Amino acid sequence: MIPRTMLEIAAAHQPDWSAPEELSAVRNALRTRPPLVDAHSCYALAGELEFVARGEAVVIQAGDCAELFSDSARHRVQAKASQLHHLCETAETAGVPTVRIGRFAGQFAKPRSCATEVLPDGTEIPVYRGDAVNGVTPTAAARRADPARMLTAYDLAASGLDALFMRQLLLLEGGSGIGSLLAPTYISHEALLLDFEHALLRPDPARGGDYASSAHMVWIGERTRQLDHAHLAFAERITNPVGVKIGPNATPEELIAIVDRLATGHRRGRLSLIIRMGAEKIADRLPALVAALGTRAGQVTWLCDPMHGNTKKTTAGQKTRVVTEIQAEITRFCRILREHRVHPGGLHLEVSPDPVTECVDTVAELSGALDLDRYESACDPRLNPDQAQRVVRHFTRSL
């Protein structure tokens, strides 16, 4: 049950569930389900992140912007894990061990800046919030917030984790045993739907308190990291590794408060600060934040999300991102952290294992009649395999 104190705290970007009795039934059902991940594996990830904070490893956290139920069959999760594996192999060419964290097997919800959207015929309908909430089809019926979708999200996450386990066994049988055992694939998602996350809290037998059994690591988004809101309180309560997205409007005071609440009393690296400022703003905004933390800057894991601050629109109105701008933000992120004697800990990317055409290579491509003919994302644009490899190689050169 969600503690009463939690219910009294404001929570941003929660669905307007229209059926309270159905929501209650779904919460109760989730409370009886087995944990998706065990506390020991979450603690193992925390240990690997401690090496990252020390400068002895890097993180590649990558996967879908918003997973679709229809794209979450076992073979699709294995394809996403395989792409992550290849990205990490590329990163390891720099001679640094890599921690593999997938944005899959659970990334089914997204915060949105507007509650509704207007169709070409003038009809106003609820915005798509991810398959765990409503459907992507632009109709009033499909966009109704349906609590039962959280049960489907659980089932598909469980199936995805089984697929990852089977992939590990196949690697063992194929002679890749030692490397596979040394490089597990962890899963992560944004802890957005508090009804889902609280229902999957489970006791942590080793450390006491509760852990989020929905993923090895969860993060709090830029839009939900308010100091007096429920999402940060949730992150403070759990024993898992947690991340917090930090955008260009974050203040030194906010960052200090976040670190005080989420890093104090935990092992080094447990808190990941995921910087998402954009190539044009990071040089102005990030140095003051790193400096404000002083020596404590070395107690957290610093990740670069070079995707969200670099979103643009084509002349046709499609959202896209430019690879050269993504690379520019990575360059500046690494340079700023090195200047403050802090380790650039890794990347947080939105990618697809398919040859999609959602991001472009250069700004010049935006000025012409651009045809993104394989635009398949349910929300934001993702890097295709070739673009993702180039971005990771650029990161290794920037370390």
| H or E, element range at 275 | strand 271-275
- Annotated binding residue 276: yes
* Count of residues making up the chain: 399
| Nearest partner of 17 among 125, 140, 130, 146, judged by Cα | 146
CA distance 385 to 399: 21
Q: Is 335 annotated as a binding residue?
A: no
103 annotated as a binding-site residue:
yes
Residue 274's SS3 state is: strand
For the beta carbon of residue 37, count every other beta carbon within 10 angstroms. 24
Backbone φ and ψ for 362, nearest 5 degrees, come out as -135, 160
Rounded Cα gap, residues 87 and 60, in angstroms: 8
CA distance 89 to 366: 32
* Residues 6+ away with beta carbon under 8 Å from 305: 245, 274, 275, 276, 347, 348, 349
Q: Whose CA is closest to 57, among 46, 42, 69?
A: 46
> Strand 98-103 and strand 124-126: pairing?
unpaired
The DSSP 8-state label assigned to residue 37 in this structure reads S
- Find out whether 65 is annotated in a ligand binding site: yes
Q: Is 143 annotated as a binding residue?
A: no
Which residue, 347, 302, 355, 269, is CA-closest to 94?
Answer: 347
Handedness of CA 105, 109, 113, 118 (dihedral sign): positive
Is 321 annotated for ligand binding?
Answer: no
The answer on whether 261 is annotated among ligand-binding residues is no
Strands (DSSP E) along 308-363, which ranges? Answer: 311-313, 319-321, 346-350
Task: Determine whether the annotation assigns residue 394 to a binding site.
Answer: no
114 marked among binding-site residues: no
* Beta carbons within 8 Å of 262's beta carbon, 6+ residues apart: 232, 235, 236, 242, 244, 270, 271
Q: Who's near 330: CB < 8 A, 6+ residues apart?
A: 304, 306, 347, 391, 394, 395, 398
Q: Which long-range contacts (CB under 8 A, 24 or more apart) does 155-158 make?
A: 156/69, 156/72, 156/105, 156/108, 157/36, 157/105, 157/106, 157/108, 157/187, 157/214, 157/215, 158/36
Task: List residues forming the annotated binding site for Mn(2+).
Answer: 65, 308, 350, 380
Task: List residues forming the annotated binding site for phosphoenolpyruvate.
Answer: 103, 222-223, 245, 276
Task: List residues forming the annotated binding site.
Answer: 65, 103, 222-223, 245, 276, 308, 350, 380
